Amino acid sequence: MSDKRQAKKEALRTRLLEVTTEQMRQNGIEDLRARDIAKEAGCAVGSLYTTFEDLDDLILHINSNTLQSLGAALALGQQEIDEPAARMEKLACDYLDFALQNYRLWRAVFDHKWPEEKPVPNWHLDNQHQLFLKIAIPLKELLPDADEELLLLEARTLFAAIHGIITLSLEERYAAVQKSILKQQIIKFTKLIIAGLRA
């Protein structure tokens, strides 16, 4: 492929990702249509399908970007905090803030149903793994004897617990904690976990 053609292809890819990200940020994934995306990006529907395998593949790339942005936000918040318990608390609060500020993109990560018959691509699994490694770092200081496998298991479990509290609250579902006291409740819950880990 010539350099020029390659550059054009890259530009289209970037534009499709931008346009779809914006549509997902506005409306989530429920009403996402290839035709609307192509129209907004100024290309033919066929060009979308030569750039991405299908709509699921396109959404997965955006969800992967969302996880990377989340990882970056969590890493940024950890800087200049030494104490592991304070870092765990900051992680939980930063996760809440990220969910609030990127609500529909964040929901898409959990609502998107990847086709059962296709394996989830490795690049996406790696991306998830990187996120849990970030949570495992402060946890290692609280659980110095745990090996990496155990730390990652605990990181996944704590993430899922905090995620459950935030999700039910933001969706105003059963067991919802009122939004006005959600951050305070997340902090209390993280302190409880840390007290348990240290007991």
Binding site for a second copy (CB under 8 A): 67, 109-110, 128, 131-132, 153, 156-157, 159-165, 167-169, 173-177, 181, 185, 188-189, 191-199
Q: How far is CA 166 from CA 44, 78, 169, in A?
A: 39, 20, 5
Residue pair 51/12 in contact by the 8 Å Cβ criterion: yes
Q: Provide, rounded to whole angstroms, the least separation between the CB of residue 46 and a second copy.
A: 30
Cβ nearer to a second copy, comparing 4 with 110: 110
* Angstrom distance (rounded) from CA 167 to CA 187: 16
Residue pair 49/38 in contact by the 8 Å Cβ criterion: no
Cβ nearer to a second copy, comparing 48 with 154: 154
Residue pair 154/97 in contact by the 8 Å Cβ criterion: no
Residue pair 154/139 in contact by the 8 Å Cβ criterion: yes
Side chain identity at 25, as an amino acid letter? Answer: R
Cβ nearer to a second copy, comparing 65 with 167: 167
Q: Provide, rounded to whole angstroms, the least separation between the CB of residue 192 and a second copy.
A: 4
Q: Provide, rounded to whole angstroms, the least separation between the CB of residue 181 and a second copy.
A: 8
> Collapsing DSSP states into helix, strand and coil, what is residue 199?
coil
Residue pair 183/96 in contact by the 8 Å Cβ criterion: yes
Cβ nearer to a second copy, comparing 115 with 164: 164
Q: Provide, rounded to whole angstroms, the least separation between the CB of residue 167 and a second copy.
A: 7
Q: How far is CA 22 from CA 29, 35, 187, in A?
A: 11, 15, 32
Q: Provide, rounded to whole angstroms, the least separation between the CB of residue 43 and a second copy.
A: 31
Cβ nearer to a second copy, comparing 140 with 191: 191
